[in-house]
C-alpha cells in the first residue's frame, strides 16, 4: 500500500530551525499529514569527524548526536520510520583504496542498520558510490556493503546518485547491481537526479525493483494561484513522472525531499501536490477497470 513520507534531511526547516537541528524533527512531523518519515542519518551529526561529502553547514558549530540518540528521539515521540537513509558518506568510504577507511565506512553502515532495526524500519536508502570517482568498481563496493547489510533484516535501496565514471551510467549501474543484489534489495529513484541526466524512461524499466521514490524539488508558481514542484537540476516534470509511475502500478513509499523550503506552508503544499498527482491516477485506473468489466 502506497505511503507518503517526508525526509528529515531538511524537515526542521518546517518549524524555523536549521536542517541539522534534530530536535525539530518531531515537532515538524506533527504538523504534516504524512504516514511517517524517512530518517536521514546526517554526517553533520557525527562527533568524530566532519562530513566527507559537501555540506552547507559549519561542522564545528552543528549539534552532535550518536545514532542511538537519534533513534531514542524517534522512539520517544513514536515517530513511524519505515525508511532510513544511510549516512551519505558511507559510499565514499566504501570506494576508498584505504583499508581503514573502508572498515570505518562499514562500521557506520552497521551502526545505521542497527538503528533501523530498533526503529522497525523496512528499507535503507544507500548512496553506494563516490559521486566524484572516475573509476568505480561496483562489484567490490557492493560486496563491501553486503558484508554488513546481510546481517540485518533491512532491504537496501540503492539511490541513483550522480556518477562520474565515464564507463557507467545510472542505468548501466542499476543493471549491474540487479545481477549482484539479493532479490529483495532494490532501488530508490530520485526524480531530481533523474532530471539531471534526463533518464527517467530508462530507470523506469526497473520499476519492479523500485522500493522508494524521492520527490526532490522546490515549490514554484504555475499560473494564477497555482503551484508545482520543480527539480533542482534539469527540466523534468517530476509530478508528471510520479503520476506515470503510480499509473503503472507503483505502490510503495514516496518521500518528499524539499528544496529551498521557506517554512511549513511549502511542505504542506508540496505534499498536497504529490498526493494529488498519485490519487488522480488511482481514480482514473478505477474508472478504466470498471469500464473493462462492463465491456466483458
pLDDT digits (tens, 9 = 90+) for 91-114: 999 999 999 999 999 999 999 999
Q: How confident is the model at residue 54 (pLDDT cuts 50, 70, 90)?
A: confident
Q: Domain of residue 221: give its range.
A: 3-295
> What cell does 163 get?
556518477
Residue 239 to residues 18, 84, 111, Cα–Cα distance (Å): 27, 23, 34
Q: Which of 108, 10, 15, 25 is nearest to 57 (CA)?
A: 10
Cα–Cα distance measured from residue 139 to residue 141, given in angstroms and rounded to the nearest whole number: 6
The pLDDT of residue 224 is 79
**Cβ 122 vs Cβ 3: under 8 Å:** no
- Cα separation, 235 vs 157, in Å, equals 25
Q: How much is the average pLDDT of 154-182?
A: 97
Domains: count for the chain? 1
Per-residue cell: 204: 523506469
- The mean per-residue pLDDT over the stretch 186-195 comes to 98
Considering the entire predicted model, what is its pTM?
0.93
Task: Supply the CATH number for residue 239's domain.
Answer: 3.20.20.150
- Quick one: pLDDT at residue 287? 47
pLDDT for 238 equals 96
pLDDT at 135: 96
Pairing of strands 36-40, 186-190: unpaired
What integer is the mean pLDDT of 124-134? 97
User: Vertex 127, ends 161 and 271: CA angle to 5°?
Assistant: 70
Amino acid at each position: 500500500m502506497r505511503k507518503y513520507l517526508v525526509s528529515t534531511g531538511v524537515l526542521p526547516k518546517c518549524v524555523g530551525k536549521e536542517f541539522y537541528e534534530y530536535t525539530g524533527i518531531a515537532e515538524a512531523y506533527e504538523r504534516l499529514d504524512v504516514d511517517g518519515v524517512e530518517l536521514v542519518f546526517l554526517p553533520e551529526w557525527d562527533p568524530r569527524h566532519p562530513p566527507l561529502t559537501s555540506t552547507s553547514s559549519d561542522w564545528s558549530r552543528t549539534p552532535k548526536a550518536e545514532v542511538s540518540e537519534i533513534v531514542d528521539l524517534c522512539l520517544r515521540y513514536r515517530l513511524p520510520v519505515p525508511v532510513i537513509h544511510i549516512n551519505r558518506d558511507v559510499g565514499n568510504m566504501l570506494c576508498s583504496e584505504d583499508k581503514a577507511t573502508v572498515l570505518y565506512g562499514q562500521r557506520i553502515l552497521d551502526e545505521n542498520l542497527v538503528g533501523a532495526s530498533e526503529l522497525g524500519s523496512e528499507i535503507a536508502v544507500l548512496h553506494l558510490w563516490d559521486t566524484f570517482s572516475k573509476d568505480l568498481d561496483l562489484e567490490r563496493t557492493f560486496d563491501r556493503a553486503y558484508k554488513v547489510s546481510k546481517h540485518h533484516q533491512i532491504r537496501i535501496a540503492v539511490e541513483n546518485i550522480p556518477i562520474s565514471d565515464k564507463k557507467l551510467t545510472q542505468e548501466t549501474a542499476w543493471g549491474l547491481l540487479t545481477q549482484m543484489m539479493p532479490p529483495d534489495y532494490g532501488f530508490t529513484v530520485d526524480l531530481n537526479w533523474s532530471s539531471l541526466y534526463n533518464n527517467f524512461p530508462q530507470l523506469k524499466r526497473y520499476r519492479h525493483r523500485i522500493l522508494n521514490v524521492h520527490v526532490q524539488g522546490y515549490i514554484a508558481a504555475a499560473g494564477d494561484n497555482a503551484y508545482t514542484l520543480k527539480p533542482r537540476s534539469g527540466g523534468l516534470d517530476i509530478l508528471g513522472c510520479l503520476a506515470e509511475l503510480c499509473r503503472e502500478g507503483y505502490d510503495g513509499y514516496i518521500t518528499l525531499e524539499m528544496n529551498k523550503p521557506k517554512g511549513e506552508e511549502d511542505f504542506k503544499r508540496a505534499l498536497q501536490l504529490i498526493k494529488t498527482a498519485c490519487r488522480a491516477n488511482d481514480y482514473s485506473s478505477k474508472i478504466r477497470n470498471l469500464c473493462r468489466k462492463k465491456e466483458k
